[in-house]
Amino acid sequence: MGVKKVVVAPESGFCYGVQRAMDMVERALRNGQKIALLGPIIHNPIVIKQLEMQGARIIEKVSEAKDDEIVFIRSHGVPPDIYEEIKKRNLRYIDATCPFVARAQRIVREMSQKNFQVVIIGKKHHPEVVGLRGYAKDPVVVTEPFEVEKLSLKNKIAVVVQTTFRKDVFEECLKKMMEKKFEEIHIFNTRCFTTDRRQEEVKKLSKYADMVIVIGGKMSSNTRRLYEIARKYGKKAYHIEDIPDIEKEWFKGVEVVGICAGASTPFWLVEKVVKWIKKEVKGNAGEYTVTNV
């Protein structure tokens, strides 16, 4: 007995937008630039610590930035007044807004200018949603389907969704929207397709493996979502941030270990966990495979 196989979900690790932002900040730091990260670049404490060690500094407001610092806008994006504040202070900035988020921002601005009532489906305090709201006049944010019922909306409605929002809840919200009175409703599915793929993979992996380890920040909503799916469809599931969170107990009677990671988890951390299992857990894990099950 013991672990015979470790399977890593192929979409594990940084999504496109986060990878892009990471590349941008690391390039800037290598060039010796002083970077003020406007909010943590990703929900991963390990990565944030590394960036800080390389000289980046986290700020909460533009007003905290020093005159010689470059303000770094993370992949989540920011509302337009942040750009105005940056320009007013004559600060330099790097805009790492994820292109998928930027598309949603553009849609919100355009539809609002055309006098559509903008409805954003997403978590009210998620930085991406806070950003999106800034591009509309009187936008409405909906997180749960039941909230749709109470809304009083204009005749012309435009709907966008947080890029990392749950597909099933999004669908339920839309169905509730169909019960509203409207003349026109334009729905833009701004969810990022990598979120779907990642979730699909974890679902399959959970059914296949004896246990699933989800790696990612405890604050990361997309990682938590993966953990929820793994718990729902799998036999056992654990959510860890790093090696010290792992308990050897978990591996009792486990032959196949599934591993996946949130969009804000660097792939080297996934590799570190795999190596740890091969070394510390009894069994013959052999080579790990990054594969679709």
Strand segments, DSSP code E, in 116-167 are 117-121, 140-142, 156-161
Rounded to an integer, what distance in angstroms lies between the CA atom of residue 115 and that of residue 2?
A: 62
Residues annotated as catalytic (active site), given as ranges:
128
For residues 191 and 236, which CB has a smaller minimum distance to a copy of itself in the complex? 191
Token pair listed for 205 = 């992996």
Is there binding between residue 86 and a copy of itself (CB under 8 A)? no
Is there binding between residue 110 and a copy of itself (CB under 8 A)? no
Residue 233 near residue 203, CB atoms below 8 Å: yes
Is there binding between residue 179 and a copy of itself (CB under 8 A)? yes
Rounded to an integer, what distance in angstroms lies between the CA atom of residue 241 and that of residue 216?
A: 5
Rounded to an integer, what distance in angstroms lies between the CA atom of residue 114 and that of residue 129?
A: 20
Which of 87, 92, 114, 186 is in the footprint of a copy of itself by CB under 8 A?
Answer: 186
Rounded to an integer, what distance in angstroms lies between the CA atom of residue 196 and that of residue 11?
A: 10
Specify the stretch interacting with a copy of itself by CB under 8 A; choose among 45-53, 131-139, 183-191, 245-253.
Answer: 183-191
For residues 84 and 171, which CB has a smaller minimum distance to a copy of itself in the complex? 171
Specify the stretch interacting with a copy of itself by CB under 8 A; choose among 24-32, 88-96, 184-192, 208-216.
Answer: 184-192
Is there binding between residue 30 and a copy of itself (CB under 8 A)? no
Shortest Cβ distance from residue 176 to a copy of itself (Å)? 9
Shortest Cβ distance from residue 179 to a copy of itself (Å)? 6
Residue 8 near residue 214, CB atoms below 8 Å: no
Shortest Cβ distance from residue 152 to a copy of itself (Å)? 17
Is there binding between residue 182 and a copy of itself (CB under 8 A)? yes
Shortest Cβ distance from residue 267 to a copy of itself (Å)? 28
Which of 183, 247, 249, 287 is in the footprint of a copy of itself by CB under 8 A?
Answer: 183
Residues in contact with a copy of itself, shown as a per-residue x/- string from 139 to 178 under the rule CB under 8 A: --------------------------------x--xx--x
Nearest-CA neighbor of 76 among 39, 28, 35, 46? 39
Rounded to an integer, what distance in angstroms lies between the CA atom of residue 184 and that of residue 193?
A: 26
Residue 75 near residue 17, CB atoms below 8 Å: yes
Is there binding between residue 189 and a copy of itself (CB under 8 A)? yes
Rounded to an integer, what distance in angstroms lies between the CA atom of residue 147 and that of residue 173?
A: 8
Rounded to an integer, what distance in angstroms lies between the CA atom of residue 293 and that of residue 201?
A: 8
For residues 180 and 278, which CB has a smaller minimum distance to a copy of itself in the complex? 180
User: Would you tell me which residues interact with a copy of itself (CB under 8 A)?
Assistant: 171, 174-175, 178-179, 182-189
